[in-house]
Amino acid sequence: MKTLPLWLLTIIGLLPTVLLPAQEVVGVSEPVHLVDLAFPESGIISQISVKEGEKVKKDQVLASLDNRVLDTQLRIARIRAASSAKIQSSQSEWEMRSRRLKQLEALASRGSANEDELAKARSDAATAEAELQLASEEMEQHKIEAMQIEAQIDQRTLRSPIDGVVTRVFREQAENVSPSDPVVLSLAQLDTLEIVMHVDPAQAALLHQGQSLQVTSLQDGAKGDATVAFISPVTDSASGTTRVRLTLPNAEDLHRSGVKYRVQLGQGVAAAER
């Protein structure tokens, strides 16, 4: 391989440089988050609290299944968890047996107690103590059962995972849902959009994460400043292009999802003027 003479390299290095003209590509806007919500189990929808196009907040209740059976079970579990009658009864029994044992032990120390009677008192006291422990464990078990039912009810309640907009409602109140067809509604987060474009690898090499690019809607001319969020490290073998994803702030709802945008890539690489 021949190398250029040193004098020629020096001349090329002294030539003035210019920037290539700005380049443009077209990308398509998408929601930054698009979520299909479904119940994890079968049931009958008791309510759907939102409509298509309605804005929702994170953790807002959107829909729920019929929970009448679980609600009844929860009330029973809470009553059992709050009842201390068995513990109080077991406590009294243990205290009485313990006092009886101490009395017999005091008599035995003076040689005035029957050994069989003392052994029975010890057995009764131990049994009463075990019954008290069992009563405490049963109360704790009822508390855990109540928590478990509460979790089941919560699973049968759809809450919004994002601040977004209801884009589609697939079900109606009183309709049955099943694992084979579980989706109830769809949400989209539109306060920030993504613009996905496929560019020549040479163009992608000029971009960097965090870079600001001007975009213009081909539908209504709305303009904005998008930020490079991701540049794919691989080139698609079929198209020979690199996928680039931009984020576009949309707090004022100036931009729409699913629209083509012209993206101004900015000035290109420096080239020697010839």
The CATH number of the domain holding residue 51 is 2.40.30.170
Residues 119, 194: one domain? Answer: no
3 part of a folded domain: no
1 part of a folded domain: no
Query: Domain boundary at 98, 127, 155, which?
Result: 155
Query: Domain boundary at 127, 155, 183, which?
Result: 155
**pLDDT at site 65:** 94
What is the overall mean pLDDT for the chain? Answer: 84
| Overall number of domains in the chain | 2
**pLDDT at site 17:** 36
Residues 149, 79: one domain? Answer: yes
10 part of a folded domain: no
Residues 97, 52: one domain? Answer: no
Residues 24, 85: one domain? Answer: no
Angle between helices 85-109 and 115-155 (to 10 degrees): 160
Q: How confident is the model at residue 12 (pLDDT cuts 50, 70, 90)?
A: very low
Residues 174, 268: one domain? Answer: yes
Q: Which H/E stretch holds residue 100?
A: helix 85-109
147: pLDDT strictly greater than 80: yes
- What letter does residue 22 receive in the DSSP assignment? P
Residues 208, 122: one domain? Answer: no
**pLDDT at site 261:** 95
* Cβ within 8 Å of residue 156, ≥6 positions away: 39, 41, 43, 64, 65, 67, 70
Q: How confident is the model at residue 5 (pLDDT cuts 50, 70, 90)?
A: low
- What letter does residue 148 receive in the DSSP assignment? H
Percent of the chain with pLDDT over 90: 54
164 part of a folded domain: no
pLDDT digits over 235-252, tens only? Answer: 999 999 999 999 999 998
Cβ distance 87 to 135 under 8 Å?
yes
Q: Domain limits at 86? A: 68-155
Q: Tell me the average pLDDT across 190-210.
A: 92
Give the least confident one: 18-32, 65-79, 131-145: 18-32
6 part of a folded domain: no
Residues 143, 93: one domain? Answer: yes
Query: Domain boundary at 155, 187, 219, which?
Result: 155
**pLDDT at site 53:** 93
8 part of a folded domain: no
In angstroms, the first-to-last Cα distance of the chain is 24
Residues 129, 195: one domain? Answer: no
Q: Tell me the average pLDDT across 107-129.
A: 80
